[in-house]
Amino acid sequence: VVSAEENAETGRDIEYEVHDGIFKLFCDKAGTPIGDGTSVDLGIGKSPSVWKVSLEGTGDNPTRTECMDNNHIRIGWDEYGETISDATDYSNNGGSTVLNAFYNRMQIGDIVMSCYSSKTIDAIGVITGEPEWHDEYQHYKRLRKVKWLVKGINEDIVDLNAGKTMTLSSVYKLSVSVSDALQILRRVKPTLFMQNVKIPNRVFIIDEINRGNISKVFGELITLIEPTKRIGAKEQLRATLPYSGQSFGVPDNVYLIGTMNTADRSIALIDTALRRRFSFVEMQPDSAMLKDVLVDGIDISEMLDTINKRITVLLDREHTIGHSYLLPLKSDPTLERLAVIFENTIVPLLQEYFYDDYEKIQLVLGDNQKPDDSTRFIVRRNDAVKLFGNADIDFPEYYEINSEAFKRIDAYAFL
């Protein structure tokens, strides 16, 4: 995300934000425990950020004590007054980045960590309220309500924060992941979580996985999906993400399923590293899914089996027709629906598979067994005499798709 807001503190006009990708968000959520079939109610949002906040400064101070006692956080920049808007002039004192974070980017349900020193935090909470202005305080009048989950701790987060110490800025996003924050909570205050806690299995599905450049998609993270390298395993491994600097690992309850179509031959290009980390399970067409589906007496399940046996003999078993093409017949078992499926889907697929070798396509469709052209899906034509007269040239025959045959139920009797 690119923001064109002027940043008076850094002198830069454009600021780039790094957001978690879908797989990282998935892995963070996968580590969230559940109990008795419901989520643990900590107030944490669905896709929370983890924020650092400085309460007056480092170490013990009156503002920190007051915030801990009254379940909120407070920051300053009081000189700008109660209202912060696009018209606010930050040219003299700065603060635009901090106030933008506090008012706009920080959301209810986000996690906040109270900075005690450059390396340690003393509390972890969840944002529960919108920004408020409290004139009763002499300083630090900007306030947001917080539900403190743990207080009075002394937790070094440098390693979790991509090896970086915390800066003096009042509010900013940390590189600490949600799963790491939850691990701290579970360790220092296990009573926060339900007694019958369990971590359910989560499934991440990548459709057409062989279509992407696997080495570029996964990069070094491909090592993290190995069973022995998962979080919780004896040889657990984490990687430091290049842009956010966050430490990232894949929980052992995450299962990855990749689908691919072997008929397009791109499976041969699958990276060896991917082959070693996945088990390959063949999924052949399942005609049983079409059991008891009849169209004017034609058994669709048997018809699919016959077509696929012919394709296997004439080509190979990798190009058999999937049952999904015929599933619409379960709810609409009509000749009209069958005709549309054959003319618009199955015949074009056979044309692609057999490279327009229409003699073989005729064999697959049983056209060679039919008594006349009226029921043949593919018909042979030779109009040379009609077109050119008695020319002394051997003109080749050509083939046409007979659209009328798809509308006749007896045309399907030889399938």
**Domain formed by 2-198, architecture:** Roll (3.10)
Spatial CA neighbour of 161 closest among 270, 307, 51: 51
**Residue 233 has what pLDDT?**
82
pLDDT reported for residue 385: 58
Backbone phi, psi, residue 233, to 5° = -85, 165
94's torsion region: left (phi>0), alpha (psi -120 to 50) or beta?
left
Per-residue CA distances from 18 to 2, 46, 123, 247, 249 (Å): 9, 18, 25, 14, 18
Mean pLDDT by 10 residues, the chain (415 residues): 44 66 84 49 84 92 94 90 81 81 92 94 94 92 94 92 89 89 86 66 88 75 87 84 81 89 63 77 91 94 95 92 94 96 95 90 94 92 68 75 94 91
Quick one: tokens of 331?
A: 């709810």
The SS3 of residue 351 is helix
The pLDDT assigned to 44 comes to 86
* 3-class DSSP assignment, residue 78: helix
Angle between helix 358-365 and helix 300-314 axes, rounded to 10 deg: 150
Q: What is the DSSP letter of 66?
A: H
CA distance 255 to 253: 6
Please give the structure tokens belonging to residue 284. 């052949």
Where do the domains of the chain lie? 2-198, 208-277, 287-412
What radius of gyration, in Å, describes the C-alpha atoms of the chain?
33
Q: In the prediction, which pLDDT does 269 show? A: 60
What is the Cα–Cα distance from 282 to 40, expressed in whole angstroms?
39
Looking at residue 221, its pLDDT comes to: 81
Q: What would the two tokens of residue 308 be? A: 């696929």
Burial (0-12, 13-18, 19+ Cβ within 10 Å), 131? middle
Handedness of CA 24, 25, 28, 33 (dihedral sign): negative
Distance CA 110, CA 128 (A): 8
Q: Are 66 and 59 in contact (CB under 8 A)?
A: no
